[in-house]
Amino acid sequence: MFEFNILHKNKNARTGVFKTPHGKLLTPELAFVATDAEIRAIPKKSINKLTIQYTITNTFHTFTKGLVPAIEQAGGVNDYMEYKNVTATDSGGFQVFSLGFGKIHQVGKIASKEPTITRDHDNLLQITEKGVMFSYDEKLIMFTPELSIAIQKRLGADIIFAFDECTSPLNSHEYTKKAMERTHRWLERCLSAIDYRSSIINDRQSSPSSNRQQALFAIVQGGMFEDLRRESAKFMAKQLVLGFGIGGALGTTKDEVKDVLDWTIPLLPEEKPKHLLGIGQVRDIFESVVRGVDLFDCVIPTREARHRILYTTKGKINVRKYKTVNEVADKNCRCQMCSNNLTIQQLNNLFFLKDPRAYYLATAHNIQFYSDLMKNIREAIATDKFFELKEKYLKFYP
Ligand SMILES: [Zn+2]
């Protein structure tokens, strides 16, 4: 049911096709974030009219908000969203991290400054071999690899991720190693929980009426430590999974993201797709594609649209700063706002009036920009012009 084919390579950048139950995903591609199985500001009736090839829904949020039964009853995330293309759900690991080290260290995947001390003992979560215990909404929750897989089965997305422990850029080598080894053991439990080995065998024997199939991706961890990243990549490379996520702490500077990819990707099987989790700035996309990344997901396009930031082929526009400009945001853009000649000033007026159309138009515009960006990348790789395209974009996205 799933098959990944690389169509063309321009050095290590590659373009390919990932066949899924919801059609072909052309790569490289970015997933737009549908946190609660809904892309904010985009009504259901509009989702298929936009150029959205790939979405990712948060396992942790749908679970803690009690949405899983309704999504399952609808027939899975695709039916619930009335969306026809490829879907993914994340493992929940990153959201759990955000409640622990992420919260107390006040960091994300990339720490904003060089850590002066490592801090391993101030986690707000209780992480044991069994899973992660935390309190949420005054309830005590035990999140385990089995629970993550059980929820993701019920959500029924095409691509699902194994439950991992996401470490902080401020964690020590010792702690990161322990967490990575735990993630490796948790992968074994995810594989058993999904009964993945037998489903792959069934698939080979081609049973068309078999249950919905999902592609499990394993997540490489190891923080910002070269030896650990290499060890994790080597371990994951041997597993019976259809693709890989690259997750966790990605360093303290943007350059360290490149290092993590340089250590990891050459050790993973070339013929399987790789998804860099939670990264989506224009520059980072180019620097990752050039290293062999196929898939991304990021809240940037949709979240920034709601904060009045528009992405254009000439760089980012802050609508608040340009509110008197009586011009279209991007003349080359085919979104509803730009193709109807709605100007930045007019958009700002809609925002000022809190008109819901403002949020929709800005979000749809950024979705169009990112879809075009990824399409341009695919076409440039196919015609050996990736590096020229990279230079062109990076002039406006330094
Ligand atoms: Zn536009």
pLDDT of 235 > 80? The answer is yes
Model pLDDT for residues 67-102, shown as the tens digit of each residue: 999 999 999 999 999 999 999 999 998 888 878 776
Say how far apart CA 73 and CA 37 lie, in whole Å: 13
Tell me which amino acid residue 310 is.
Answer: L
Q: How far is the CA of 275 from the centre of ligand 1 (A)?
A: 27
| pLDDT at residue number 249 | 73
Sorting pLDDT into bands at 50, 70 and 90, what band is 108? low
- Neighbour count for residue 84 (Cβ, 10 Å): 13
pLDDT above 80 (res 15): yes
* Lowest pLDDT segment from 154-163, 189-198, 301-310: 189-198
Q: Are 171 and 101 in contact (CB under 8 A)?
A: yes
pLDDT at 210 over 50: no
Rounded to the nearest integer, the mean pLDDT of the chain is 90
For the entire predicted model, the pTM comes to 0.92
Domains parsed from the chain with CATH numbers: 3-298 (3.20.20.105), 311-387 (no CATH)
**Ligand 1 centre from 288 Cα, in Å?**
25
Q: Is cis: bond before 273, omega within 30 of 0?
A: no
Active-site positions read: 90, 297
* 36-55 pLDDT, tens digit each: 999 999 999 999 999 999 99
**Cα(28) to centroid(ligand 1), Å:** 21
Alpha carbon separation from 109 to 171, 236, 279 (Å, rounded) = 12, 20, 9
Q: What is the mean pLDDT of residues 156-168?
A: 94
Predicted pLDDT at 335: 98
Cα–ligand 1 centroid distance for 383 (angstroms): 26
User: What six digits make up the tokens of 9?
Assistant: 């390579």
**DSSP line for 61-122:** HHHHTT-HHHHHHHTSHHHHHT--SEEEE--SHHHHHHHTHHHHTT--SS-SS--SS---S-
Distance from Cα 346 to the centre of ligand 1, integer Å: 13
206 pLDDT higher than 50: no
Determine the pLDDT at residue 121: 63
